[in-house]
Structure formats: C-alpha cells, structure tokens
Amino acid sequence: MGGVPHVTRADAVAAVRNPLAFIAARWTPQPRTVRRAALAALVMSVIIVVTGGAVRLTGSGLGCPTWPKCTDDSLTTTGAMGVHGVIEFGNRMLTYVLCAAVGWAIVAARSQKPFRRSLTRLGWAQFWIVMGNAVLGGIVVLVGLNPYTVAAHFLLSSALIAVATVMWQRTREGDTTPRPLVGKAVQQLVWFLVAASVLLIAVGTVVTGSGPHAGDSSEVERMPLDWETVSKLHAVLAWIVVTLTFALWFVLKAVDAPRAPLARTRELFLVLLCQGVIGYVQYFTELPEALVAAHMLGSSVMWIWVLRVLLSLRERPGTTADLPGPAEAAAVPTRA
C-alpha cells in the first residue's frame, strides 16, 4: 500500500489562498466527468424548481415563517410546525445540494486540461444566480409570499436553467469560433421562438400570481388580474410557440438542414405537445396540484429544449472528443 502524500506548509498555504488552482494542479478530470458535472448542475436546477412548486402547491410557503432561520428561535423546523415546516425547510436544504452540484461543475471545469475559461465563467455565473435567488427566496418569505417576488424567484430560476444548459452544451464542444449550420433567416426564426418562449414563461408566472394556489393557507395577496383572461393569453402564447416550432421544422426540412437542428426541433415539438395536454387538462379540472407540478416540470424541460434548438444551429469544430487527454494536455500551456 502506498504511503500518504506529504503535504508541505507551502502546499497548505496554496490550498487556502486558491483552492481551485490547488485542486487543478493535482487533478485532471476526463471530459465525460466535466460533462456529468455540468449535467448534474442542470438537473438540480430543474429539481429545485419542481420542489419549490411543491412548497407552494402544498400550502407550505410560510412553513418556515422567517429567514434565514426557520423561526425566530430555531434554525431548523420544529415538531410544532408540522408537515408544512418540514416541506419548506426541506426545500431550503436542497439549495445546499444545488450549491454542491454547481460547485462540482466549477471545480471540474477549472481542473480540465487545457484550461477553458468560458466553462469556468459559466459555472461561476450559476453560483451567483443561486446566491441571488437564495436571498430573493428569503425576501419572498419575509414579505408574506408577495406574488411579484414569487414571479421574480421563478424567473431567476429559469435564468439558472438557461446558464446550466449552455454550460452542459459547451462541455461537448471546443473553443473554436462557432460555425453556423443554417442561414440567417432560419436563425432569426429561432430567435423569434426563443423570445416567444420567454414571454410564455413570464406570462405563466402571472397566471400563477393571479391564480388560486397562493402558497399558504392564510390570506395571501394575489395579482389584481382576472385569472381566466391571463390563462387564455398564456394559451395563445403557447400556440404561438407551437406554431413557430412546427414552422421551424418545416423550414429546416426544406433547406435540408443538418440532423442536429432537425432532431432538437422534433424533440421540442413533442415536449410542447405533452406540455399543452397537461396545461389544458389542469385548466379544465380546476388545477389539481399534481398536474400543476407536472406543468412546472414541463415548463423547465420546454425551456431547456428551446435553448438546445438554438445551440444546435451552430457547431464548434474540435469537440471534447478531440481535445487532448491528460497525457497530451500536460504539454499544453494553460492560460492564466
């Protein structure tokens, strides 16, 4: 059995001053490890959205009535707070799991050889979004689930999903200049699709803010809008997104586009159909909690696939499969 590596005082000082550089100097992850780390961060960003929805749908939004503590006298939930306290506090604890996943993605990206600054920046962007959303989540509790802060909380989570999706995609690409696979007209059509999807998600938060699921059993302020009217606007926007997706698929077939954009567009169309079915069923069945939760999951998946369609319109020659492995990377100078 080998001996324990000797750690000098200089090593200890270096680890304290710059732990990421210290780890990177001693560990070179395989490309698949970096991809898995980025995927883990993306999956956790979706899970935190779904569990946050579960908090609201079970009326546990004020299960922990204060922040950052659960109560004025306790950091954690107490038996007297019942199941609502457990649900709310459990969701808060999942934030630490999300932080761990994002942290793993940052460490893996920083340690990859050769060093890729773009990946590291995407990891840190996720970290700061998580920190900002944690603070915003505390504000949501302190202001008694004000629907505007709840909407902002969800939109910031959608921004996190967007950055995590881009990082996951970039782990499978090189750092060369992207080469477009389709013409400008197709690119513009996809940007219209992205814009319509953003508007669809934003209006969805208004549906939530004016709807019956306030997030707590007490009287909670709602947005002063007619819920059915906003829901119908949301449905119209959904049909616009579906129409744009179908039109994109037709155009891509007409111009004989590469396989990747066609495949991502077809997948998005199927996701939208499933999401539409869930949306209409929940509307006509008076919003059962299980279907609302499924619709929130579908919203996150839809947003990921819209971004995947956008990212499929270009390629970066020299994917991670072509990047030098640990042995070759040792001879490649890294950027500071």
Q: By C-alpha distance, which of 158, 252, 152, 153 is closest to 197?
A: 158
When divided into structural domains, the chain yields a total of: 2
Residue 124 falls inside a structural domain: yes
The pLDDT value recorded for residue 290 is 85
Candidates 306, 295, 144; CA nearest to 208 is 295
pLDDT for position 15? 61
Distance between CA atoms of residues 249 and 269, nearest Å? 9
Q: Which two tokens stand for residue 268?
A: 């998005």
Residue 323's pLDDT is: 43
- 162 in the same domain as 40: yes
Same domain flag for 195 and 274: yes
In a domain, 13, yes or no: no
Q: Are residues 250 and 155 in the same domain?
A: no
Alpha carbons 191 and 204: distance in angstroms, whole number: 20
Residue 21 lies in a domain: no
Residues 75 and 223: their CA atoms lie apart, in Å, by 31
Domain hosting 301: range is 179-316
Nearest to 163 by CA among 46, 21, 20, 30: 46
Whether 209 and 239 map to the same domain: the answer is yes
Measure the CA–CA gap between 61 and 100, rounded to whole angstroms: 24
CATH number at residue 214: 1.20.120
Q: Is residue 105 part of a domain?
A: yes
Is residue 16 one of the residues assigned to a domain?
no
State the Cα–Cα distance between residues 170 and 122, nearest whole angstrom. 9
How far apart, in whole angstroms, are the C-alpha atoms of residue 271 and residue 251?
19
Residue 1 lies in a domain: no
The answer to whether the beta carbons of residues 113 and 328 sit under 8 Å apart is no
Q: How far apart are CA 114 and CA 323, in angstroms?
A: 8
Q: How confident is the model at residue 2, as a pLDDT?
A: 45
Show which of 129, 151, 175 is a domain's final residue.
175
Three-state secondary-structure class, residue 173: coil
d(CA 314, CA 195): 19
Place of tokens 């539409």: 276
| Residue ending a domain, choose from 175, 194, 215 | 175
Domain boundary among 175, 197, 221: 175
Compute the distance between CA of residue 120 and CA of residue 19 in angstroms, rounded to an integer: 14
Distance (Å, rounded) from C-alpha 256 to C-alpha 196? 25
Q: Is residue 81 part of a domain?
A: yes
Q: What is the pLDDT of residue 58?
A: 83
| Tens place of pLDDT per residue across the chain (336 aa) | 444 455 566 656 556 667 887 788 888 899 999 999 999 999 999 999 999 888 888 888 888 888 888 888 888 887 777 888 888 888 889 999 999 999 999 999 999 988 899 999 999 999 999 999 999 999 998 988 899 999 999 999 999 999 999 999 999 988 888 999 999 999 999 999 999 999 999 999 999 888 887 777 677 888 998 988 999 999 999 999 999 999 999 999 999 889 999 999 999 999 999 999 998 898 888 878 888 889 899 999 999 999 999 999 999 875 444 444 434 344 434 433
Q: How far apart are CA 162 and CA 157, in angstroms?
A: 9
